[in-house]
Every structure is written in C-alpha cells, then in structure tokens.
C-alpha cells in the first residue's frame, strides 16, 4: 500500500539464538541478545535502508512459513527493539565510563525498564519477566569501581553533614548572637522574691537582696589569685588554656539529650553565658548557642576579663550575687580580704548555693575544693592540712530583712523543691517570682506554740521537730525544724529533715507486710521475753510478756518487740518491710539534710526501727498520711503555686489532677484501702493505751517510738536516745521527734528518761487539738478485716477463752498482769527502757491484759475494735 513500510522477507528476520542449557537442567530459549554480541546484526541508523532488502524479504517470508509450519514462535522484528535503531554503534557499548558502567549497561537498564512495565514480559506480551542482570555479570574491576563510587559519595555526604553545614551554621550564629556584659546582667538579677502562706494573701516573708540590686562589680586587678584558683579548682581547672568550650562536655550533653539524660560539662565561659542569659534548659539548641557565645567571648575578651565577669555574675547562695557580695554575706569582709580557705568555701558553694545553710554540705564542698587546689599545685599539702573550715557570720547579719526564725527552714525546703522543678534560687530572684506555700499560718503557729509550751525549761541540748501533712493532698501544713537560733547549740540545724532511728514507730510497716500476705490482727505469736533468734536475744520493755499466744493487735498496742521481730525475721522478711515503707512514702535512699541512707542494710533490726534504719519526721508524717487517706499516697510538697512578678501562673499544685494520689499498697485501690484500714484499727488502741487520744472524741490513731542509747563501747545502756510520736486523724498527719541529734541519753527537766508518750506525745497532742479546733468531726471508714479477727481477751479467772466464729484460733493470754490505774508520770525515775541491745522500745508501761482496750468490758461482750467502744450484735460481723 502507498506509504506503508516494506516488510522485509522472512529470510532477513533474525533467528532466535539457541539457548545453552546449564549442566543438569534445561533452560528456555533466550529471547534476545545484547546489541553487538556475536551473531547479531547491529541496528540500523536513522534513515538507513537495509541492504538487499528484496532478498531479505524473500528469505524472511520463507523463514516465516517454516516457523508457522513447525509451530515455533515467530522471532521479533527489529522494530520491537526498545532502541529501534537509535543506539550507538556496537563497538560503543564496550567502552566504560569513569564510574565503571558501560553503554550496554545503561541500554540494558532502559530495556529492562521497558520490559518490566506492569503486565509485560520479555516482549511486552505478558510472558514471564525477563531475568534481571545481577552483579555476576560485572567483572572484578567493575565491582571495585562501583564500590569506590559508593564510598566516595558517602564521604561527600558525611563531610557535608558534619563539617560544612555546622561550619556555616556556626558562622551565621556567631554574627547573630551577642554576649551580655556583667552590667547588663546585674540589672536583671537580685529582685525581691515574696513567699505567701496557704491563704494566698498573708506574706510569710521576702527574700531581699543584701545589696539592694546595687552590686559592686570588681575590676580584673581586684580579683585575688586565691579567689581565681579556688574557682578554677571547683569549676574548670583548664580555664587558662581552653578555648572557652569543652568539646567532650558538649558531646556528653548531646548524648544525654538523645538518651533522656541531663547535664554535660561546661567551662567557666559557658557557665557565664548560661547564667547571664538565664537559660537553664537541657537541650542541644541551648548548648549550641552557648558554645558559639563562649567562643565569641573568648575571641573578644581576655581570660582576666572573662573570670572577672563570671565572678561578678555567679550566684553563691545567701542571696548573694557576685564575689564581693558573697564575701560580705558569708564572712562580713571584702573579697579582696578573704584567704584561700574562705575562697575555697565560696567557690564550693557555686554548685549548691541553695544548700548554703547545711553544715554538712558546706564541709563536703570545702574539702573537695581544697583537695583540688592541692592536686593542681595551687596549694601545698602542709597548707591544706593546717586549714580549717571557715566560720560564717549569722545569716541575720548578712541580710537583716530576710525571713528569720523557724520559717527559715521552710524557706530552705521550698528552695530545694523549686530547684528540683527547674527553678533554682538565682532564677527566682532574677524573675522576682511569687511563691505560694502549702503552709497554713494557723497550723504553723500551733506547732511552734506546742513546742514552746512543752519544751520550756527543758535541757537546751534537747532538740525537737514537728511536721504536719494533709493526707488528702500531700501538702505540708506545718513544719518546725527548730528555732533557727544561733545562740542555741544545734539551733541552725533542720531537725525536721534529719534522719534518725524511728524506733517502734516503724512497726506499722511490719504490719503492712504481714497484711499483704493475707494475715491479720488476729494472728498469734510468742510474745514472751526474752526470746532467742539464732544467737541474738530480743527483749520487750521491762521484760514484759504478752504470752505465748499474743495477737498482733495486742502486740501493736503494747509494742511487743519479740512479736514483730518474729514476724519480720521468720514470716515476711526485711525486704517486705522496706517495700511497705517506701510504698507508704519513706524513700529507700535517704534524702534528709544529713544525706544518710534510709535503709541500707536488711536485717531484723528494721522490725523495731533500730540498727541502720533511718527516717526523718517529714517522711514519717508523709507515710502515716497514706494510712490516713485510705491507702492513697500523695507526693509531699511545700509549694502550692508559683507565679511570675506580674501574676502569670508557672505551675499550680492545687488542681484536682495535681493532688490526685495513687494506691500505695496494691494496684487495686480497694485492696490498698483495706490494708491501710487494718493498720488504722491496730493503731487506735495505742493512743488509748498511752492516753494521747484526740480531744472531742475525734478519731485518731498513732504510734509511739523510742530508740535506745548505745554507749561508745557498743554496749546497751538503760537509757533512751530518740523519742517519737507519729499519728493522724482523717484531716491531718503529724510526726514529732525529740532528741539530742547525737548518741546521748535524753532526760527531761526532772531527770527522767524521755519516752515517745512523754515530751513528743505531749507536743503531738497539743498540736492535734489546736489544729482540729473548729473543724468538723470526721471518722475513719469501716473496712473488712484481713485474716483472723482478734477476740477480746478474758480474765484468766473468768470464763473459758472465746473462740471466734470465723477462725479456729483460740486466743488466750497467760501473762501475769499488773493493773495500772493511771498513766505513769515523767517523774517516775524507774520507768523501764529497752534491753534489746540493738533497737528501740516504747513507753515501758505495764498494763492489764484482761482489759486490752483500756475500757470497761464484760466477759462475752463483743467489742468494736475500730473505735474502742461496746458494740451491739447488729454492729458485729
């Protein structure tokens, strides 16, 4: 037809090559070959006519007829080729480019893309896909070149990502940032911080800068070598030689940021930038900007100028910014007059300025800096040995307008809490924040008044502490750690956060461990005294015996050591007591002002709060608050709300979400409530036994505790060293401690030994009665008893023992009893003490075991063991 392209004869059509079968297997004929391979004609160039087209057409026709007759597939036309006569000459395909790929490879890739379109096979007709060419087709030289290409490109990417881009970013940041001057920083620091009581209106006090914001900025020549070297030793020993930043510290910061940690080493220059910009955020961005500014500062200022700017800016504690103000606040002298020892103390406080009033912290930091001075050759060993810890001037003299008296300890705890939340003291002052406390003014006044009334005329070496916690929120309502009086020995020590042996006030945690095993107050143990546990004798107070079948309820009321030692050593194990205490709110690792561990060893001593068991009044009040709130634990806190100077709320702990607690003793709130309720049932009779019941017939529960004195030789003596009273109502939990803070006997003004029900108990009762005045009556909720239910012991000369209907246990008491018509007074010089030799004991009272509740009872009557009153049949289950 006109315009049609002539069809070449069959003979001109290319015959398919014969496939070569592999050894042992057949292979289908290969559909086609690469251009330029043997036996294959090269493609036509554009516009070129095939030679001998007529002959080729005839041959092609004959070939087609033969194929048709044999049933074989017709070979593809040259027009089927992807390149269709547009490829280069065959010889070009064997030339390799610089990357090790030849033209044939590129062509094959294009052909392969054509043949692997969806639904197409080798010829685009839906047959099986063509087998993709693999690495086996490449020569070793080609593979080496390909591998080098990958490595080369990876190196380009690495250099770009980690060197080129950071360098560009560094240069841009360098020209964009500015380094604040000390004068600019001084204008922003040391503003007034105001503290409010829980009502949000009444001021507890203010933090007023001692320099009134008009700080004296020293010049480089006014900074003495002693001060410089002390700060180098404490913060950055390589300051004189480093470029202003620490690469390893930055890498640590990056690693900590990626892994969820915090921190990373900083040079003095970096610290200046951080403090000057008030940016304490733990982030890579902050560290990056800090690095650039530090580098810029190092380029533009000398080392003398940098250290001077740092010392004029840094916060040292005691409301003092800058070395000159700090020297005045700590020692009452100029920074140019302080010696190496005093400089070491100031330098040491840079890292912990909020704990400047803790003697242990000051001594630890001072020792560290002094040792570093020797290690770096800035102080001789002889000078180090001759140096003594510097004495500070009274804080009242350093800043007379600041908070004073017992509230000073509250302020210290508040600062620590805010620092843990990311608001250190210097940040508070830089922003002039307002701090709204959980401290109730009336409760605080009641605590201070109770201590004053009871302790008036007592030995000045006796110290006392009282902490009250709201069970529903964990808010600290009253906190008395001492008078904060420099004239009183130990008067500047916060005893409310000091860790002491709790004595028998720790026994409720033994009971929690037992209740979690399904055993209750009706379980019986051998309460005789003394008893041997291995090679160790354990005694009760005055060797009092509760009999061989003493119930847990009776043992708690009378504080029988042998029963609780038996429970812990042979029944639940010491670790279960640790778990119970930590679940209630006692930290397993100590966090008191003295930094001692709480429960570092596990032995039977923990059952009676002796040995290495240590806890603070703050933590005891918090853990008993968990019992008071039906087994719900709340985080103890001093700060209710924090706002900026203009009233913007930073955080608020009074919201419903913030005050929501969590079940302490079980994931099931009902089970945790049941455990706590059973503990409360065991502690109600303790107050009756000690005559410390709350006024107005309020529901209260609690436990006394006494720890025995051990003389320097390790021998136990018939004296007490610590005395406790811890108790609660549904509205408040309070802990009281009395002691010397040393391993010394404690006696009252009349010369009598001090017990838990003595001075601590009197302080506790006065506070509780004052706190509840005007508040509604609230009762502890009823809960189902766990395990065996205790029965009321009967007089031994009366009827047979009562058998509880829900238990096969028969409870009896075989101990001889001595009637006690009234509570012994503190004038009784023969009051017994613990003879355990390694723990505590309580009040050493004798009691009538035929009437354990302290109430008149009749044989056979049921007794309401929750509230200590007679119950009719309808109330008894």
Q: Could you list the active site residues? A: 235, 504
Q: Quick one: CA torsion of 752, 758, 763, 765, rounded to 10 degrees?
A: -150
Residues 117-142, buried b or exposed e (16+ Cβ, 10 A)? Answer: eeeeebeeeeeeebeeeeeeebeeeb
- What stretch of H or E contains 442? helix 441-455
From the number of C-beta atoms within 10 Å of its C-beta (0-12, 13-18, 19+), residue 566 rates as: buried
Cα separation of 523 and 540, whole Å? 19
Contact 62, 69 (CB under 8 A): no
Cα separation of 594 and 824, whole Å? 35
Q: What are φ and ψ of residue 720, in 5° steps?
A: -110, 150
- Assigned token pair, 167: 């360098």
Helical segments of 734-821, H only:
759-772
Q: Which long-range contacts link 595-601 to residues 24+ away (Cβ below 8 Å)?
A: 595/360, 596/499, 598/499
Contacts of 140 (CB under 8 A, 6+ apart): none
Contacts of 72 (CB under 8 A, 6+ apart): none
Q: What 8-state DSSP symbol labels residue 475? A: B
Cα separation of 482 and 762, whole Å? 17
Residue whose C-alpha is closest to residue 566's, from 549, 579, 582: 549
Helical segments of 399-440, H only:
407-420, 425-431
- Neighbouring-strand partners of residue 565: none
Q: Residue 448: CA atoms inside 13 Å, Cβ hemisphere, count?
A: 17
Phi-psi region for residue 36, left (φ > 0), alpha (ψ -120 to 50) or beta? left
Cα separation of 702 and 765, whole Å? 11
């Amino acid at each position: 037809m006109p315009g049609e392209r002539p069809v070449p004869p069959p003979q001109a059509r290319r015959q398919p090559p014969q496939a070569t079968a592999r050894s042992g297997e057949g292979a289908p004929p290969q559909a086609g070959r690469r251009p330029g391979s043997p036996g294959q004609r090269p493609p036509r160039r554009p516009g070129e006519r095939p030679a001998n087209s007529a002959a080729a057409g005839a041959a092609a026709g004959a070939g087609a007829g033969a194929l048709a007759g044999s049933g074989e597939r017709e070979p593809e036309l040259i027009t089927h080729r992807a390149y269709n006569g547009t490829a280069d000459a065959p010889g070009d395909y064997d030339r390799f480019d610089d990357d090790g790929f030849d033209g044939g490879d590129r062509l094959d890739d294009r052909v392969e893309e054509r043949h692997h379109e969806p639904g197409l096979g080798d010829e685009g007709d839906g047959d099986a896909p063509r087998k993709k060419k693999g690495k086996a087709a490449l020569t070793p030289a080609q593979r080496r070149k390909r591998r080098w290409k990958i490595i080369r490109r990876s190196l380009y990417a690495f250099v770009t990502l980690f060197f080129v881009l950071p360098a560009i970013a560094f240069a841009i940041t360098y020209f964009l940032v500015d380094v604040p001057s000390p004068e600019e920083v001084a204008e922003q620091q040391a503003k007034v911080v105001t503290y409010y009581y829980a009502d949000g209106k009444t001021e507890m006090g203010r933090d007023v800068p001692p320099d009134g914001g008009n700080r004296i900025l020293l010049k480089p020549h006014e900074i003495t070598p002693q001060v410089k070297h002390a700060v180098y030793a404490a913060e950055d020993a390589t300051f004189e030689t480093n470029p202003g930043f620490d690469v390893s510290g930055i890498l640590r910061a990056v690693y900590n940021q990626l892994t969820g940690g915090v921190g990373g080493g900083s040079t003095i220059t970096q610290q200046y930038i951080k403090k000057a910009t008030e940016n304490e955020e733990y982030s890579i961005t902050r560290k990056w900007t800090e690095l650039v500014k530090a580098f810029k500062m190092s380029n533009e200022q000398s080392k003398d100028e940098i250290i001077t700017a740092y010392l004029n800016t840094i916060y040292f504690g005691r409301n003092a910014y800058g070395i000159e103000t700090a020297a005045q606040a700590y020692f009452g002298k100029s920074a140019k007059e302080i010696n190496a020892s005093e400089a070491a103390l100031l330098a040491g406080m840079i890292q912990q300025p909020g704990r400047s009033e803790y003697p242990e912290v000051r001594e630890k930091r001072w020792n560290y800096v002094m040792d570093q001075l020797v290690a770096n050759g800035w102080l001789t060993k002889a000078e180090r040995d001759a140096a003594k810890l510097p004495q500070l001037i009274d804080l009242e003299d350093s800043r007379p307008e600041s908070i004073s008296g017992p509230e000073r300890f509250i302020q210290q705890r508040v600062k620590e809490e805010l620092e843990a939340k990311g608001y250190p003291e210097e940040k508070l002052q830089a922003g002039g924040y307002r701090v709204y406390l959980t401290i109730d003014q009336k409760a605080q006044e009641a605590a201070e008044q109770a201590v004053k009334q009871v302790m008036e005329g007592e030995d000045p070496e006796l110290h006392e502490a009282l902490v009250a916690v709201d069970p529903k929120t964990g808010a600290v309502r009253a906190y008395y750690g001492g008078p904060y009086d420099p004239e009183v020995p130990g008067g500047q020590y916060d005893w409310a956060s000091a860790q002491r042996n709790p004595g028998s006030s720790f026994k409720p945690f033994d009971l929690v461990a037992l209740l979690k095993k399904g055993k209750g107050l009706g379980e019986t143990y051998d309460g005789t005294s003394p008893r041997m546990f291995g090679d160790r004798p354990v005694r009760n107070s005055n060797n009092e015996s509760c009999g061989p079948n003493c119930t847990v309820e009776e043992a708690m009321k009378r504080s029988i050591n042998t029963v609780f030692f038996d429970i812990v050593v042979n029944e639940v194990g010491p670790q279960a007591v640790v778990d119970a205490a930590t679940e209630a709110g006692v930290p397993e690792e100590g966090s008191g002002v003295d930094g001692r561990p709480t429960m570092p060893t596990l032995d039977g001593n923990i059952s009676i709060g002796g040995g290495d068991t240590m806890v603070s009044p703050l933590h005891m009040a918090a853990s008993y608050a968990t019992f008071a709130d039906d087994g719900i634990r709340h985080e103890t806190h001093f700060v209710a709300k924090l706002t900026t100077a203009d009233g913007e709320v930073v955080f608020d702990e009074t919201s419903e979400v913030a005050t929501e607690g969590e079940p302490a003793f079980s994931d099931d709130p009902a089970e945790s409530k049941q455990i706590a309720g059973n503990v409360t049932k065991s502690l109600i009779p303790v107050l009756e036994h000690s005559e410390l019941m709350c006024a107005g017939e309020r529901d209260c529960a609690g436990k006394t505790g006494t720890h025995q004195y051990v003389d320097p030789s390790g021998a136990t003596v018939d004296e007490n060293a610590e005395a406790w009273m811890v108790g609660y109502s549904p509205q408040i939990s309070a802990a009281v401690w009395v002691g010397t803070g040393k391993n010394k006997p404690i006696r009252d003004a009349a010369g009598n030994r001090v017990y838990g029900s003595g001075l601590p108990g009197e302080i506790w009762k006065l506070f509780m009665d004052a706190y509840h005045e005007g508040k509604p009556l609230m009762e502890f909720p009823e809960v189902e008893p766990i395990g065996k239910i205790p029965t009321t012991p009967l007089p031994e000369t009366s009827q047979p023992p009562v058998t509880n209907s829900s238990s096969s246990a028969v409870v009896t008491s075989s101990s001889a009893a001595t009637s006690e018509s009234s509570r012994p007074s503190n004038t009784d010089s023969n009051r017994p003490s613990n003879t355990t030799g390694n723990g505590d004991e309580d009040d050493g009272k004798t009691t009538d075991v035929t009437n354990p509740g302290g109430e008149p009872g009749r044989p056979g009557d049921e007794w309401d063991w929750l509230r200590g009153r007679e119950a009719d049949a309808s109330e008894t289950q």
